[in-house]
Amino acid sequence: MKAVQITSFGTADVLRVNEVDRPVPGSGEVLVSVEASSVNGHDVIVRAGELKLVSGRRFPIGVGLDFAGVVAATGAGVEAYRVGDRVWGMVHPRQRHSVAGAAEYVVVSADRISHAPADLSSVEAASLVVAGATALIALRDSVRLVSGEKVLVRGAAGGVGTAAVQLAHAMGGQVTALARDRHAKILTDLGADEVLDYGSTTSDRIGPFDVIVDTVGTELHCYRGRLAKGGRMVTVGLSPSAIAAIAASSVHGSRRIRTFSANPETPVLRDVADRVTSGALRPVIDSVYPLADIAAAHRAFERGGVVGKHVVTVPRGSV
């Protein structure tokens, strides 16, 4: 079968579509015939070698954090899924994988998938696994958004940003989206009450906000200063400067900057699926690439200016 792997750290040029053995599910595991995966920041920083402590230095390393597809086989003890079920899920981001989501088949623990929303194609589903779960955890669990609160979503046009705008709107937030001006219409359609052009808007001219969801990971101390009394801020865009800002905020003042590692298991994936079914969340896809062109998808992600997600389609698995 085909699987995207890296055998050294570097630019998108190190990505290879290799022939590997088809994995076999063990006890409590599920074999998924993958139909689509998406490009996430985690994939890019692992490929670049910025998470060596997690990924290790033993190659090959599989690529692709998320996936959507069909159950091809189940291991002993798995009762919630049957062959042919449409599912979506994630590989564990803190474990090393020689084969991950960007492959014809992937084996995962049954507690890392759920049934995919029936009304979504696999391409649409793949665009929402990480984005939807991350946005939901950020708003519901990290900052605990309350209806009526003022919310700023920074980096609102990206995968997590578009999901956060939708979910914050559905939860009753008054949503301000910070993004490129040319993305204003789609963000308004997704539920933003106001869209600000990040190129001409400085942090000192906006707010205060009850909640700030940051997907960028820079200038966090400036945006933290735009929190109202009792305000909460969460960032999912980690960088060295972000880590420093998070640490400083935990020491100085009450408006701590929160962060987390999105590592959703079945209950969260089910919750995201329910929100898709209810109409609160829909996919936003920037572009779709075949598996053979995954390097181009990574380059497009790194260039930025995206609206939603870059999705990679995977050919039907071979025996």
Q: Are residues 218 and 174 in the same domain?
A: yes
* Same domain assignment for residues 152 and 121: no
pLDDT for 238: 58
| pLDDT of 69 higher than 80 | yes
pLDDT at 204: 82
Among 258, 275, 305, which residue terminates a domain?
A: 258
Domain identity same for 254 and 134: yes
Kind of pairing, strands 113-115 and 86-90?
antiparallel
- Residues 172-204 have pLDDT tens digits of 999 999 999 999 999 999 999 999 998 898 888
Q: Are 134 and 122 in a shared domain?
A: no
- Domain annotation covers residue 267: no
> Is residue 278 in some structural domain?
no
Same domain membership, residue 8 and residue 120: yes
Say what the pTM is: 0.92
Q: Which 3 state secondary structure label does DSSP give 287?
A: strand
Q: How confident is the model at residue 253 (pLDDT cuts 50, 70, 90)?
A: low
The strand pair at 174-179 and 86-90 is best described as unpaired
- Cα dihedral 244/207/139/189 (nearest 10): -130
> Are 140 and 249 part of one and the same domain?
yes
Same domain, 72 and 167: no
pLDDT digits (tens, 9 = 90+) for 193-233: 999 998 898 888 899 999 999 999 888 989 999 999 999 99
- Is 121 found in the same domain as 138? no
- State which amino acid sits at residue 201: T
Q: Does residue 59 fall inside a structural domain?
A: yes
Q: What is the pLDDT of residue 56?
A: 67
Q: For residue 268, is it within any domain?
A: no
Q: Is residue 277, in this structure, part of any structural domain at all? A: no
Does 63 share its domain with 86? Answer: yes
Domain of 74, CATH number, reads 3.90.180.10
Same domain, 123 and 141: no
In a domain, residue 269? The reply is no
Question: How many distinct structural domains can be found in the chain?
Answer: 2
d(CA 163, CA 41): 15
Question: Do 212 and 228 share a domain, yes or no?
Answer: yes
In the prediction, which pLDDT does 319 show?
39
Whether pLDDT at 318 is above 50: no
Q: What is the mean pLDDT of residues 142-164?
A: 97
Mean pLDDT of 237-255: 53
User: 253 and 135 share a domain?
Assistant: yes
Tell me, yes or no, whether 296 lies in a domain. Answer: yes
Question: Domain of 136?
Answer: 130-258
Query: Is 264 within the bounds of a domain?
Result: no
